[in-house]
Amino acid sequence: MSGHAKHLPADERRAATVEAMVELAAERNPSDITTTAIARRMGLTQGALFRHFPTKDAIVQAVMSWVAECLLARVDNAAQGAASPLSALEAIFMAHIDFVSHHPGVPRMLFGELQRSGESMPKRMVQTLIYRYGERLRRLLDAGKAQGELDANLDVDAAAVLFVGTIQGLVMQSLLAGDVARMRRDAPGVFRIYRRGIGSVR
């Protein structure tokens, strides 16, 4: 981790804590990460860490907030420069893969939160992120249908689910193989198959 967390202002200390948690999640089971491990990664005492985050759940919540903000910003930026709805979907797909390849601890944390029994604030935040992401996809899919770029009979909800599920499959296979770069290598070919499935029949 870059920088010296001991001497950072409060906002930067909180950001550094999120970074440390994401880094650790790439190396081990997120549920096994302790506040002691986070403080050690940052070169801090637990007491110094607790001045900003009273519990591990508070840190996880901050991570989920950061993930939602960063991922959705990347998705929006990728879509803005695209020439058509289908091009925007491809740009989003690749931007998402790029984000995960740079932060492999993120999907491990997301999957971990969704597997938790019962309700929690981090779990609700993940669910909200997935919903907001899906909204963006459905808008683009609807626009693609309206412009004749996508199959007029396309089930937009199913296509949005498949889009997210395809990314999740790439991520899971990459993590299982211990090869983060694999998802980047496989992504273009996988998206081409998805694209053929939703494209208009001419």
Q: Report the alpha-carbon angle 82-201-163, nearest 5.
A: 50
Q: Is the pLDDT of residue 69 over 70?
A: yes
Q: Is the pLDDT of residue 91 over 90?
A: yes
The CATH number assigned to the domain with range 56-198 reads 1.10.357.10
Q: Is 177 helix (H, G, I), strand (E, B) or coil?
A: helix
Superfamily in which the 1-54 domain is placed by CATH: Homeodomain-like (1.10.10.60)
Whole-angstrom Cα distance, residue 51 to residue 10? 9
Query: Can you give the pTM of this predicted structure?
Result: 0.89
pLDDT tens per residue, range 135-192: 999 999 999 999 999 999 999 999 999 999 999 999 999 988 889 899 999 999 999 9
Residue 11's pLDDT is: 80
Whole-angstrom Cα distance, residue 159 to residue 136? 12
> Could you state, in order of their start, the residue ranges of all structural domains in the chain?
1-54, 56-198
Q: Is 84 helix (H, G, I), strand (E, B) or coil?
A: coil
Of all residues in the chain, the percent with pLDDT exceeding 90 is 70
